[in-house]
């Protein structure tokens, strides 16, 4: 067959056909990149919303944990720490008046980072509270770290029954 000259020609044509269909064109690659970019933009927006929801849920859980520690403080000492003693009284024995009468050696919280909200800002504390006049107010200023706001930027406090942002 090679004598007829058809053998090597047939192999060359096959190789050319393979080379032409083996890769992607620039337009095909750009279309795929564009589609992937659009999908990532949609997924990115949804992920950001979920992160905000998770931070609000974490704030609610931390407020509940701090409320429990403050109740233990009150049971041991007959009152909540005052506003000037603050939440630090749950970790370090307060030295000012009123002095706690039965402060445990390890304090009421093991980790200091519990005093920071998920945005890295300290929780706010007031005793007696303006919302809870017979107890205390405990709140986070939210994502914007300033009073007021709506949604994730809203204050999250222990005075609302559902502990959601925007109060």
3-state secondary structure the chain: CHHHCHHHHHHHHHHHHHHHHHCCCHHHHHHHHHHHHHHHHHHHHHHHHHHHHHHHHHHHHHHHHHHHHHHHHHHHHCCCCCCCCCHHHHCCCCCCCCCCCCCCCCCCCCCHHHHECCCCCECEEECCCCCCCCCCEEEECCCCCCCCCCHHHCCEECCCCCCCCCC
The hierarchical CATH code for the domain 2-157 is: 3.30.700.10
> Mean pLDDT throughout 53-76?
94
pLDDT at 166 over 50: no
> Mean pLDDT throughout 5-28?
66
pLDDT recorded at residue 21: 61
* Percentage of the chain lying above the pLDDT 70 cut: 81
pLDDT recorded at residue 15: 63
> Mean pLDDT throughout 110-125?
91
Residues 90-117 pLDDT 10s: 999 998 788 898 999 989 998 888 899 9
pLDDT at 8 over 70: no
> Mean pLDDT throughout 30-52?
82
> Mean pLDDT throughout 36-43?
82
């Amino acid at each position: 067959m090679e004598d007829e000259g058809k053998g090597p020609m047939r192999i060359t044509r096959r190789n050319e056909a393979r080379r032409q269909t083996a890769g992607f064109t620039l337009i095909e690659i750009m279309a795929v990149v564009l589609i992937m970019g659009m999908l990532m933009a949609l997924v990115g927006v949804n992920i950001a919303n979920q992160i905000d929801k998770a931070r609000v849920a974490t704030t609610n859980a931390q407020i509940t944990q701090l409320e429990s520690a403050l109740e233990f403080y009150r049971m041991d000492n007959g009152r909540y720490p005052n506003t000037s003693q603050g939440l630090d009284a749950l970790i370090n024995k307060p030295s000012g008046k009123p002095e706690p009468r039965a402060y445990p050696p390890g304090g009421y919280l093991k980790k200091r980072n519990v005093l920071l909200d998920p945005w890295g800002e300290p929780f706010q504390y007031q005793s007696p509270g303006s919302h809870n006049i017979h107890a205390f107010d405990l709140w986070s200023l939210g994502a914007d770290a300033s009073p007021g706001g709506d949604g994730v930027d809203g204050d999250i406090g222990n005075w609302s029954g559902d502990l959601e942002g925007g109060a």
